[in-house]
Structure 1
Amino acid sequence: MSIYKDCDIRGIYGKEFDEKDAYLIGKAVGTLHRGKSLAVGGDVRISTPVLKEYLVRGLLETGMHVIDIGCVTTPMFYFALDTADPCAAVPQGGIMVTASHNPASYNGFKMMFGNAPMTLEEIKKLEELVYRQDFCTGTGIYETRCVEEEYTDFIERTCKKGSLKIVLDCCDGAASKIVPDVMEKMGYEVIRLYCGNDGNFPNRNPNPAEYDCLADICKKVLETGADLGAAYDGDGDRVVFIDNKGHYMTSEKSFAVFIRHCLKKCTGSFVYDQKCASLVKNTILAYGGTPVMERSGYGFIKRRFLEKGSLAAGEISGHFFFREIGRDDGLYATLKMCEIVENERRNLAEIAEEFPDSIITADLRVFCPYEEQERWLEEASKMGNLYPMSRMDGVRIEFEEGWFLLRKSVTEQAMTYRIEASDKQSLEMIKRIVGEAVPELKKALLNLTE
């Protein structure tokens, strides 16, 4: 399986790639971006230090100016790209060594040049250069820089102080120190859960959007009488919220809360993941905003968010982007949610109850050989003769009572599909229509329950 993905580079360390690959990737980046200054950071994963060491070695051997910002969250890395001490060199891009929400055995590289992630075309160009190994040579410059104090000052200037009681579950990842420390400094009563730096992630899955891993924080919120909880991923850019009744909030519901808050102040557009529940689009329209649907994937969402100058953007994975900072940040999103709760003078459960639930499946997979995948999509696209359809990424069919999405899996010989319906009867109707259009899905759909 290739480590070169649509929006970044990642894979299983020691099996799919190792430090030699990191070294070659460093040389390839240095060749493509010759003479630039790059910030390099890393998360707490066990393999991060050695991968970062070899990556930096490759960059320096091609003449790059490397600014090593140490062990940081991904939002701190983004901050380092946007700001710098007036007397210091300003990074012209950067590489974060992280696999974000993936299990501990994974690692990878998030790359930014300018204010946007690498495109698929740029990643392919990098991959081809690594294969050819036609690298330039040079003598680079290496310096270290700590961004923690500047980042903390930025958050304090940008966000409001508060007094709520909050449980923070940092999954022993990169957010474990900075997030609780900053929130305590801003007046919050913080209860720490899994806030030790341990790249093995011993206490829970580092992907909080897999909601079954959130039982401990839900329990802790109830036990402590906290106003809310916040659960982060391995590198601190994603967050899932827990209300005061110990119930997790889907990312769509959290985004809806942010959308309404933004639209009470001004009008504008919001970018959302095509896999999001209809709640997101409906909330945007209900409060006078402009919905902008985009294909799934961090890079696609962020680029559209920046292109449109949107007020905010959101993914079902728990990434929330805000125009006032120009990027996503789990800590910023948490402080924004706390601000909303305090401003409304109601608890988070009461706020969340105003946004209706629907029936929506997880991303479901069914085996499909690579050579058959286009045919399945063509079969599904015939539904577009009767219903509104998008071919943005795969096939998305809109029904009055919900929608169906069919896409190619990026990791295996499989198709992924997802259905949303307003109620059980509508779910059965959509399953029947889809099963008739794509017979290969009929058996899987018969076994599908809400």
Structure 2
Amino acid sequence: MMINKYIFREYDIRGKVAEDFPPDVVENLGKGFGTFVKRSGGQEITLSGDVRLTTPDLIKYFKQGVLSTGVDVINIGILPTPVNYYSMFKLGVSGAMQITGSHNPPEFNGFKMSLDRKAVYGAQIQDIRRIIESGAFEKGEGSEVRHELKDDYINMIVGKINIERPMKVVMDCGNAAGAILAPEVFKKLGVELTELFCDIDGTFPNHHPDPTVQENLVDLIAAMKTGQYDIGVAFDGDADRVGVVDETGEIIWADQLMALFLPEVIQNKGDEILYDVKCSQALEEMIAKHGGTPIMWKTGHSLIKQKMHELGCPFGGEMSGHIFFADDYFGYDDAIYVAARAVQMLSRSDQKLSEMVAELPKYYSTPELRLEAENDEEKFRIAK
């Protein structure tokens, strides 16, 4: 069958739905992943997706493909990506699939895969591509069950966080998947919450759900300047990346936020803390100052997670807003948990967030430069 080879990326399978994901292609993606899971010794996966308008159909056809390989599916519904990750730990399944376009425009969607509690990426994604191109799928009759995980996840987060003084928080969900449960988490934590765009709309009518781009934080910044708020938080399309704004409306970039967490996460002298190449020298210096060992690594959330697992790091992150706690959490990127940890950290201090950031070393750096390519073929040629 004809399938666009450029949908098979480094960290996921992604493309424009109308062009790249007709029903037969999506069903074959399900067959490919089911075969991959089965040949890896697995038997059961969880399946969920984000709030994009195309997601329910993609879930439907992908599920058909997986079931035809004899792999069982636990359908956990429309949820943020971190809940999909959590399902592997809670339900003990072999693998997981989250259908999400993340921070991409509404016409895009994609497939984030996990196996044995680790991200499927790189060569493994190409293995799945080759399985699909060969048509040599496993055959069987898998079963489907539905499982409600939302309340379990909310209670798990609330049980890990302790807010020690009254906090006023502005939250911008960008009409995306975080809106499904992030406001409820924060209300249960007892914070005074002001919500921006926390109603679900898969067309993202107010702004693009990507908190690493300054223009997408304009509404959050404006809201922070209207009241005596302590912190503002924003999530990307599937709530695995976080953006933070201080009480004055200044953006706290991910490497700055990571630096603020260091006193909590470095418990033993020499603890290795992982960060990507786009983070500033200030983070490296602060890791050393707090007794940790700074480890610079390649950009890419899957690469960071894998290296953290290999080294046993308690904490890591990258400039894009993927932040990973493994000190009292599972080591995956969960923007809702990271935001809650930020509020907890602030509640334990008598300083304002801007005052905490002012104590960090200051270096000047260029913003991330994103080069536009005419098409995927050109992009992949340049990347080589």
Given the two structures, how large is their TM-score scaled by the length of structure 1?
0.79
Structure 1 residue 345, shift from structure 2 partner: 1.1
Amino acid at match of 1:338: V
Match of 2:30 in 1: 26
Other-structure match for 1:130: 132
Structure-1 residue corresponding to 2:285: 282
Instruction: Please tell me whether the aligned partners of residues 97 and 109 of structure 1 are also in contact (alpha carbons under 8 angstroms).
Output: yes
Q: 1:316 aligns with which of 314, 319, 324?
A: 319
Check the 8 A contact 1:237/1:330 in 2, yes or no: yes
- Give, as a single letter, the amino acid of the residue that structure 1 aligns with 2:172: D
Q: Which residue of 1 aligns with 2:77?
A: 70
Contact 1:44 1:71 in 2 (8 A): yes
Q: 1:83 aligns with which of 70, 76, 90?
A: 90
Amino acid at match of 1:41: S
Bigger CA radius of gyration: 1
Secondary structure in structure 1 of the residue aligned to 2:294: strand
What code does the residue aligned with 1:319 have?
H
Q: Is 1:350 equivalent to 2:318 in the alignment? A: no
Which residue number corresponds to residue 48 of structure 2?
41
The answer to whether 1:213 aligns with 2:216 is: yes
Q: Which amino acid aligns with 1:337?
A: A
Aligned to 2:223, the other structure's residue is in SS state helix
Post-superposition CA distance 1:148-168 (Å, at most 9, x none): 111112112111135200000
Q: Give the whole-Å Cα distance in 1 for the aligned partners of 2:156 and 2:378.
A: 37
* Distance of aligned partners of 1:164 and 1:264 in 2 relative to their CA distance in 1, 3 Å threshold: farther
Q: Secondary structure at the match of 1:33?
A: helix
SS in 2 for 1:109: strand
Q: 2:192 aligns with which of 189, 193, 197?
A: 189
Structure with more relative contact order (C-alpha pairs < 8 Å, separation 6 or more)? 2
**Deviations 1:2-34, CA, capped at 9 Å, x for gaps:** 011111111111123333221101001112222
Q: How do residues 416-435 of structure 1 correspond to structure 2 at under 5 angstroms?
A: none
CA distance in 2, matches of 1:209, 1:368: 20
Query: Helix, strand or coil: the match of 2:114?
Result: strand
- Alignment equivalent of 2:273, drawn from 233, 247, 270: 270
Measured against aligned partners, the alpha-carbon deviations of 1:236-263 in whole angstroms (never above 9, x if no partner) come to 1111110000111111111111123323
8 Å CA contact 2:44–2:73 kept in 1: the answer is yes
Which residue of the partner structure matches residue 149 of structure 1? 151
Correspondence 1:11-410 to 2 at 5 A: 11-34=15-38, 36-84=43-91, 90-162=92-164, 163-263=166-266, 268-323=271-326, 324-325=328-329, 326-364=331-369
Once residues 266 and 193 of structure 1 are traced to their aligned partners in structure 2, the CA distance between those partners, rounded to angstroms, is 41
For structure 2, list consecutive stretches of 5 or more residues without a partner in the other structure. Answer: none
**Mean CA deviation greater in 119-128 or 153-162:** 153-162
Q: Judge which range, 260-269 or 121-130, deviates more.
A: 260-269
Residues 368 and 415, structure 1, Cα contact 8 Å, conserved in 2: no
What is the CA–CA distance in structure 1 between the aligned matches of 2:245 and 2:370, rounded to whole Å?
A: 28
Aligned length: 373
**Residue matched to 1:9:** 13
Residue by residue, what CA displacement relative to the aligned partner does 1:356-379 show, whole Å, maximum 9, x if unpaired? 33222233356899xxxxxxxxxx
Letter in 2 for 1:411: K
Contact 2:274/2:317 (8 A) holds in 1: yes
Gaps of 5+ in 1: 85-89, 370-408, 417-450
Asked if 2 retains the 8 angstrom alpha-carbon contact of 1:23 and 1:57, the reply is yes
Question: Cα offset for 1:119?
Answer: 3.0
CA contact (8 A) 1:155 1:332 kept: yes
* Displacement of 1:191: 0.3
Identity in percent: 31
Alpha-carbon spacing, 1:410–1:349, altered in 2? closer, same or farther (3 Å):
farther
SS at match of 1:223: coil
The one-letter code matched in structure 2 to 1:31 is T
Letter in 1 for 2:80: T
CA contact (8 A) 2:163 2:347 kept: no
Please tell me the residue identity of whatever aligns with 2:51: V
Q: Judging changes above 3 Å, is the alpha-carbon distance between structure 1 residues 129 and 173 closer, same or farther for their aligned structure 2 residues? A: same
Distance 1:97 1:14 in 2: 15
Q: How far apart are the structure 2 equivalents of 1:225 and 1:344?
A: 17
Query: Hey, what's the Cα distance between the residues in 2 that align with 1:367 and 1:176?
Result: 31
- For 1:16, give the aligned amino acid: D
